[in-house]
Amino acid sequence: MKLTGAQIMMQVLKEEGVDTIFGFPGGAVIDIYDELVKTDIQHILVRHEQGAVHAADGYARASGKVGVCLVTSGPGATNTVTGIASAYMDSIPIVVISGQVPTHLIGNDAFQEVDIVGITRPCTKHSYLVSKTGDLSRIIKEAFYLARSGRPGPVLIDIPKDLANQRIDYNGTEQVNLKSYNPTYDPNTNQLKKTMELIENAKRPLIFAGGGVILSKASVELTEFARKTQIPVTTSLMGLGAFPANDPLWLGMIGMHGTYRANMCTGACDLLISIGVRFDDRVTGKTDAFAAQAKIVHIDIDPTSIRKNIPVFIPVVGDCKKSLGHLNSLTDNLDLNNINKKRVKWFDQIRQWKKTNPLAYKQKDIIKPQYVVEKLYEMTNGKAIITTEVGQNQMWAAQYYHFDQPGHFITSGGLGCMGFGLPAAIGAQVACPDKLVVDIAGDGSIQMNTQEMATAVQYSLPVKVVILNNGYLGMVRQWQELFYDKRYASTLMEHAPDFVKLAQAYGALGLRATKPDEVESVLAEGLSSPKTVIMDFLVEKEESVYPMVPAGAPITEMLLV
């Protein structure tokens, strides 16, 4: 059977279970698009290629599947780089398909030619330039396998225009066979037995979970492990939702803007069981002071992450779900009564730390951003999928919206990419059409990709955007206030758009609250609307995010007010 490269591509994508592609057409992929419309794969036309990658990212996180985007060559391809880098930092499985100039023009500086494989090599798990149509099915299969297996991440496939048109004999796809790529899923059981011995003897143990727990779908196993061993739990920003926030063992998020009790527990623990984390600098603060009294166990599927930033007492290379499952099977032999006797002082200390409340604030005449997020949490019963932009809005969302299940907090953690939240919300809404999806945004970051409002409206996606509008680039302003004598250099956002009118211009619903007593009614109207909605909350202009650990300080040395 003779098929074109584009036809082969569509067939393999369907074999991989692809039901949605986010993209933007152009000359180098026009033949692929011509074939795409003949299939039942849904295509979501974004307004900017960066939006396509973020939407595929949000789709992947919300659905647990591989997100896919399709763009043209040259500027279409280069516009994806920020989104690819964000997915790479957060280990999100996406496949980015870019068009390329015809093979005979590669290297000739042809119109809209760029070496996107070379450009993205540092921020992808792998990048392919297809050189033969006969290789296309194998490469697509490999790309999806690489994206979803081991430590997940983005993979790019660059397809020259002539190969999409070329007809070849096609006999079906072959099985993936990557001899040099063998992720370790099964942990070393001896290392896990040693871990259980440490748990039995520990007086001040702590579990630190990260995004790897969510990616490996190990939240149930983590919760079981914590409850069986009665060990308190903290998570990184990326790990929020891996452990239920309504559980008595929950301490809140760790790190630069983590809770007082989580950071203090980390500084005082004698055993830190770290699962699916990479010890990012925003978590550790001063590295030689991080968990300085503790023996550290590090469980991760990526061996290069272990001992990369923090010394480890027991390294465990393996899948989080399998590792936790095995640990749970070993807990049957624990003498919990004896263990709890050793930890009486530890839990007394934690109760004392919990009585302090640095997250407290006073709602007076001007809307506090924390109040908006708290009201949003109350009015959604904590069930919404929350995406965020990056900055203060992101941290307030992490602190005041309490996540009880995985896949409900979607944010650009490692790269900290402004403009992420709206397109990610679009991707999440496409993946979960029956769920409420809310982007918590700042007035600065929302403007990075506001054009994607048109995408949401075109496809009747009822995404809600909650803007915490303080008229500043808030997080940078906060640093300038604390460390640069309030020299607000280029952080005042003058001449911002009227977000209500902007929503109306796109055919969406626009609402605004200027006083605290308007917050609840605006949220009620916006959340109940079947339309795409922007809710603009004019909040305290110079409100700061606390607690805060200054750069280079130990995480136990927090600014609290």
Q: Quick check: 261 and 279 in contact, CB under 8 A?
A: no
φ, ψ at 259 (rounded to 5°): -75, 155
Q: Of 435, 389, 380, 434, which Cα lies nearest the Cα of 412?
A: 389
Q: Is 448 a catalytic residue?
A: no
Catalytic residue (one of 9, 475, 548, 558): 475
DSSP of 509-546:
EEEEE-SHHHHHHHHHHHHH-SS-EEEEEEB-TT---S
- Whole-Å CA distances, 42 to 36, 38, 234, 459: 9, 11, 39, 11
Q: Is 525 a catalytic residue?
A: no
Q: Of 371, 408, 413, which Cα lies nearest the Cα of 386?
A: 408
DSSP of 247-267:
STTEEEE-STT--HHHHHHHH
Beta strands in 192-350 (DSSP E): 205-209, 233-235, 250-253, 271-275, 295-300, 314-317
Catalytic residue (one of 15, 112, 203, 405): 112
d(CA 516, CA 367): 5
Q: Is 49 a catalytic residue?
A: yes
In whole angstroms, what separates CA 71 from the centre of its chain? 22
Instruction: Classify residue 97 by burial, with Cβ atoms within 10 Å: 0-12, 13-18, 19+.
Output: buried
- Whole-Å CA distances, 400 to 212, 360, 376, 414: 23, 10, 9, 21
Q: Which two tokens stand for residue 7?
A: 């036809």
Catalytic residue (one of 7, 11, 35, 49): 49
d(CA 138, CA 401): 43
Q: Which two tokens stand for residue 399?
A: 């602190």
Handedness of CA 142, 146, 149, 150 (dihedral sign): positive
Q: Is 313 a catalytic residue?
A: no
Catalytic residue (one of 65, 141, 161, 322): 161
DSSP 85: H
φ, ψ at 236 (rounded to 5°): -75, 175
C-alpha atoms less than 13 angstroms from C-alpha of 410 in its C-beta half-sphere: 34
Q: Quick check: 186 and 316 in contact, CB under 8 A?
A: no
* Kind of pairing between the strands at 94-100 and 67-71: parallel
d(CA 355, CA 95): 46
d(CA 5, CA 143): 16
Q: What count of other Cβ atoms lies within 10 Å of the Cβ of residue 288?
A: 9
* Kind of pairing between the strands at 533-538 and 167-169: unpaired
Q: Is 374 a catalytic residue?
A: no
The number of helices, as runs of H, and strands, as runs of E, in the chain is 23, 20
Q: Quick check: 282 and 210 in contact, CB under 8 A?
A: no
Q: Which two tokens stand for residue 490?
A: 């280029």
| Catalytic residue annotation | 49, 111-112, 161, 475
